[in-house]
Amino acid sequence: MFIDQVKIYIKAGDGGNGAVSFHREKYVAEGGPDGGDGGRGGNIVFVIDEGTNTLLNFRYHRKFIAKNGENGKGGKCHGATAEDLIIPVPAGTIIRDAQTGAIIKDMSDCGPFVCLKGGNGGWGNRHFATPTRQIPRFAKSGLKGKEMEVTLELKMLADVGFVGLPNVGKSSILSMISAAKPKIANYHFTTLSPVLGVVSTGGESGFVAADIPGLIEGASDGLGLGHDFLRHVDRCRLLLHVVDVAGSEGRDPIEDIALINEELQRYSEDLASRPQIVVANKRDLLPPDTDLSEFEQYVASLGYPLIYVSAATGENVKQMVHLAAEKLRDLPPLTIYDADYVEPQPTVEPGNHDIVLRRENKVWVVEADWLYNLVGSVNFEDRESLNYFDRVLRSSGVFQKMREGGVRDGDAVSIYDFEFDFVE
């Protein structure tokens, strides 16, 4: 089965929590706080797997969550940093934001890509010791790792793409010029998925060609198999437009060329403007005295080079390869898509401690990302830590915003499961 587009959920690991600990050792006075920091959560890292050419591995595995960092320990012991979660993808995979479709990264010719960073570990209580607060009984919780849904879209890395209607001989030609072994039979849609083949042009030079499943009228609108696989010719620098010049299935080769070009145009203007070579296949089925002047004039009017070949006899197949290689030498390299994803800005800017306030069953619920991290760092069983929490809420304007939102004296308030009665 060939899978070339899939949506997955990824989440980086959370940072470990800082430790609340005090140094206790015989004959050592005033050991003081020695809580270690939490470890960083694991990153989500994409790498290129040269051994695959499909996203089949993601068919049933759609959720990827990195491990959390280890919590800090006493004795100033730092929590262990979690291992990164490595996700291998085929070369040519484009990572997109599932919501906006924006490109995050084109995994075509690059090293490992850190897509999401793990949360930093929280500070241990030793960081909160001051001359006036010598016994801090609270530490900072680790930050949450980032999470999102992404779409993986495979666009094969091929220099040349074979396009054309079904049963015109694309697979036969590819099997002759490369080691690829596509299925070949005398019926439509024999090829059900794109097939890559490496074509040698002598020495160490050559190019990669892709056999794209046959297009039909309406392919750009989703008919047939073409719509699913047109994306694989997006990167192709050159298109070999294969046509049945003998009209062995009762079709007019001129109409065939026009039909395929129209579908390419409707799918992408850039794709339609890509250089083409018209490969007139099945020449061996034509009578020697066949008048092809109208066909040749039509191809010339499009500005495309024309070559007659026969996949059955091998006629001019080598010449076609050399013609394609010459064209490629003058064309720009494979397209690498630039990232256009803009990471959403945090809802709370520095100095602007916004909150979300709502009422549920006579209880006022207060929420904010920065509040979540604050609550995780507070030891509510310790008076000094509780006073610190109260000072932060007052200095950041949370109480004032609660009053403006309708909270009154005696109302029940909940901040991430910490409940209290509001006092003016």
Answer whether residue 341 shows pLDDT above 80.
yes
Q: Please state the CATH superfamily assignment of the domain spanning residues 160-329 in this structure.
A: P-loop containing nucleotide triphosphate hydrolases (3.40.50.300)
Q: Choose between 326 and 369: higher pLDDT.
A: 326
Alpha carbons 55 and 1: distance in angstroms, whole number: 10
| Token pair listed for 63 | 């959720």
> Can you tell me the distance from the alpha carbon of 264 to that of 271, in angstroms, rounded to the nearest whole number?
6
User: In this predicted model, what pLDDT tens digit does every residue of 37-81 receive, in sequence order?
Assistant: 999 999 999 999 987 878 888 988 999 999 999 999 988 899 999
The pLDDT value given to residue 169: 85
pLDDT at position 347 is 42
pLDDT digits (tens, 9 = 90+) for 275-325: 999 999 998 898 888 899 999 999 999 999 999 999 889 999 999 999 999
Contact 215, 167 (CB under 8 A): no
| Amino acid found at 351 | G
Residue 185 predicted with pLDDT over 80: no
Does the structure show a pLDDT above 80 at 270? yes
pLDDT at residue 224 is higher than 60:
no
CB 262 within 8 A of CB 215: no
Could you state, in order of their start, the residue ranges of all structural domains in the chain?
1-154, 160-329, 356-421
Class of domain 1-154: mainly beta
- CATH class in words for 356-421: alpha beta
Compute the distance between CA of residue 147 and CA of residue 99 in angstroms, rounded to an integer: 13
Overall residue count recorded for the chain in this entry = 424
Topology match between the domains 1-154 and 160-329:
no
Q: How does the average pLDDT of the chain come out, rounded? A: 84
What is the pLDDT at residue 378? Answer: 74
Return the biggest CA–CA distance within the chain.
110
Angle subtended at Cα 133 by Cα 132 and Cα 134, rounded to the nearest 5 degrees: 105
More confident residue, 230 or 54: 54
